[in-house]
Amino acid sequence: MTLIIALDLATTCGWARGRVGSIPSSGSIRFGKNAAMNNEVFAAAHTWLAEFLNQPPIADVLIMEALLPPDAMRNHTSRAVRDRLAGLHGIARGIAHKAGIGEISDVGVGNIRAHFIGDRGLYREAAKREVMRKCQALGWPAADNNAADALAAWSYAAAIVDPKHAIAVSPLFRRRVLA
């Protein structure tokens, strides 16, 4: 089965890793302190991603939440934050390519949430709570909302690779979700 890695890239990065049809592992890592400069964050991210993405077996797919267009979060996200996210995406893409990961993709957070919680329009905090709740209902290990977001992205990719997975996370066909 296809091995997928999903990343929710930010200064605190959520990750999920697993084969389609299995329960993925997940976690999060912080690439620097609150006031860390970009170079420190990028160096820490490079070190961790180089080790993580090169763990055997090498993943078949890497999926990341897509970058927002520059004016998508006007007055909510600073240019410095967008620049940091772009840098982290570039680092991840380069390391994944060099590691031999065959498919490197990104997907919009709205598409991930529509798949995973059935609602692409929830505000950020409400959406994060629902994603955490869904991970718990599925019995998936999510230590925090960063890991939960990565698990949701992993689920999205798994559903593309094997559409039966989309049914498996649907409340209609999964009794544990309804409990």
For residues 137, 114, 108 and 10, what is the CA-based torsion angle, rounded to 10 degrees? -30
In the block, tokens 């955490």 appear at 132
Amino acid occupying residue 62:
L
* Residue 78's pLDDT band (cuts 50, 70, 90): confident
Domains belonging to the chain, first-starting first, are 3-178 (3.30.420.10)
More confident residue, 47 or 175: 47
pLDDT digits (tens, 9 = 90+) for 28-62: 999 998 788 999 999 999 999 999 999 999 999 99
Six token digits for residue 60: 């078949």
Question: How would you classify residue 100: left for phi > 0, otherwise alpha for psi between -120 and 50, otherwise beta?
Answer: left
Report whether 151 contacts 16 (CB < 8 A). yes
As beta bridge partners, residue 7 has 15, 64
Strand order in the sheet with 12-19: 25-30, 12-19, 3-8, 61-65, 103-107
Mean pLDDT of the chain: 88
Indicate the DSSP class of residue 178.
H
pLDDT digits (tens, 9 = 90+) for 122-161: 998 999 999 999 999 999 989 999 999 999 999 999 999 9
pLDDT digits (tens, 9 = 90+) for 92-126: 999 999 999 999 999 999 999 999 999 988 998 99
